[in-house]
Amino acid sequence: MKKIILATKNNGKAKEFKEIFGSIGIEIVTLLDLEEDIPEIEETGETFEENAAIKAETIADRFQMPVMGDDSGLEIDALDGKPGVYSARYAGLEKSDQKNMEKVLSELDGVEQDERTARFVCVLALAVPGKETVLKRGRCEGRIGFEPIGDKGFGYDPIFYPDGYDQTMAQLEPEEKNRISHRRDAINQMMDWLKENPLAE
Ligand SMILES: O=c1[nH]c(=O)c2ncn([C@@H]3O[C@H](COP(=O)(O)OP(=O)(O)OP(=O)(O)O)[C@@H](O)[C@H]3O)c2[nH]1
Ligand SMILES: [Mg+2]
């Protein structure tokens, strides 16, 4: 398999998938690369797994080809796992990374450093027409800071300190983020599965 369709319209994800798969010679095509306009896919699931499957299966049905979907987000322990599956739209439907971070920081007002534990989660779904969808969950543990720092990455990266780092995810070089991220973890698990269960060409 030399080309994979990724059912996303998120530029940050698209870039990371292209970097990671590019390094092993696989081309990633996303919904942002297609000429035709694909309607917004409604994320009606209550779990990352359900939403990743909805995205992958919708596009796999449409093109009758194998498709991967990524549903991901941030789970903050002091907020009982929020924003979770609502990470992209936490501060409203217009999807502003800035506003989402502000909302999280204000909800964590008064919460001390030791209590600010969190993790990024990435669930990858591989949908193949006529087959059962395969799901893999990746994680990256860390803590939420007190202000946004750094301008790399996307989403909540400027307020997330991965365990073992005194820099935020948005201060790390892309290669470093891609080495330790939840997305990398999920991709590694999916690649391992694909080695055991190769798709027919
Ligand atoms: O700082 C971050 N670093 C990451 O590495 C990361 N991965 C996910 N997220 C957050 O979780 C939402 C995904 O929501 P999501 O899976 O529904 O994707 P999306 O709606 O942005 O695009 P699509 O793939 O659905 O088209 C994103 O928007 C971000 O807020 C991240 N934040
Ligand atoms: Mg989404």
Q: Is 143 part of any domain?
A: yes
Query: Within a domain: residue 153?
Result: yes
- Tell me the sheet residues that pair with 41: none
Which tokens go with 186? 């999920």
Cα-Cα-Cα-Cα torsion 93, 108, 106, 12, nearest 10 degrees, comes to: -40
Residue 72 in contact with ligand 1 by CB distance below 6 A = yes
Q: How far is it, in rounded angstroms, from Cα 195 to Cα 172?
A: 30
Q: Would you call 71 a catalytic residue per the annotation?
A: yes
Q: Is the CB of 30 under 6 A from ligand 1?
A: no
95 C-alpha vs ligand 2 centroid, how far in Å?
9
What is the average pLDDT across 24-45? 93
Selecting among 71, 77, 80, 109, the annotated active-site residue is 71
Please state the ipTM of this predicted complex.
0.98
- Annotated binding residue at 13? yes
Q: Could you tell me if residue 23 is inside a domain?
A: yes
CA atoms of 6 and 130, how far apart (whole Å): 18
| Number of domains comprising the chain | 1
**Total length of the chain:** 201
* Distance, CA of 29 to CA of 14 (rounded, Å): 8
Quote the strand ranges of the chain, DSSP E.
3-6, 27-30, 67-76, 117-127, 134-144, 160-162
| CA 81 to ligand 2 center in whole angstroms | 18
Per-residue pLDDT tens for 71-80?
999 999 999 9
Residue type at 107? E
Query: Residue 114: inside a domain, yes or no?
Result: yes
87 within domain boundaries: yes
- pLDDT of residue 1 exceeding 70, the answer is no
* CATH code (residue 164): 3.90.950.10
User: Does residue 24 surpass a pLDDT of 90?
Assistant: no
Give the 3-state secondary structure percentages of the chain, helix then strand then coil, rounded to 5: 40, 20, 40
The answer, yes or no, to whether residue 27 has pLDDT greater than 90, is: yes
What pLDDT, in 10s, does the model give residues 132-170? 999 999 999 999 999 999 999 999 999 999 999 999 999
Would you say the pTM of this structure is higher than 0.90? yes
Percent with pLDDT over 90 in the chain = 91
DSSP state of 55: H
Structural domain containing residue 107: 2-196
Determine, yes or no, domain membership for 201: no
Within a domain: 68: yes
Cα dihedral 161, 53, 58, 22, rounded to 10, equals 50
Q: Is residue 185 part of a domain?
A: yes
